[in-house]
Amino acid sequence: MASLLKTDDKQTCSTRSKIVTTIIIMIIIVTVAIVIGVVVGVSKTQKSIVETTTINNQTSFSVSTTTLVSSISIGNQSGPPCSSYTTIDDPSRNIAQSSLYALCDRGSPFNTSNGGSWIRFIGTGGTILPLTAPAQGRCGAYMVGWFNGTLPTTVNTAVNGTACFSMNSVPCPFSVFILVMNCSGFYVYFLPPAPACNGRYCTT
């Protein structure tokens, strides 16, 4: 009888050990699963933060660039210059703009069949060509264009002049001949293409 009791006790202890072992294994599995879930969650959160930051940066960049959006309205060039001109509204041409965009005025609207176009500059970028050489690298170009002459004071009168393109602190290494007309409150310029890239007419 005593022998049977000892055998039952051993079987009971063995069963309990198996149950305890199983419970411990299950606890370990659950703990590992929780840890993995936390790590994955943190990783996704970090990824979300990075993506949000990237989106915010892109939005900020977009807002920044919209302040320099330009527009060109091609006008009829066959009539009187004070009423038949192309309008350019371009903040990046301003002499205070120091960002170098490597832009060039050798394409439209300057490269016309008659050697140039009558241009009126408007907007926050400026309405006239500067009368002195701007600093190096201004106006979105490496070669900065300015008017080396005197603006006409008589209405409906055009004067001949020279547009210089300064470079490397040299005021006028390149130049083109232009016309300027006084249109009673604003000026229009007959501007040919820049002599080289990246030459660009500045405004103020």
State pLDDT tens for residues 134-178: 998 899 898 999 999 999 999 999 999 999 999 999 999 999 999
Q: What is the pLDDT of residue 12?
A: 53
Q: Quick check: pTM over 0.85?
A: no
DSSP state of 108: T
For residue 16, name the pLDDT band (cuts at 50, 70, 90).
Answer: low
Q: Closest Cα partner for 141 from 175, 90, 100?
A: 100
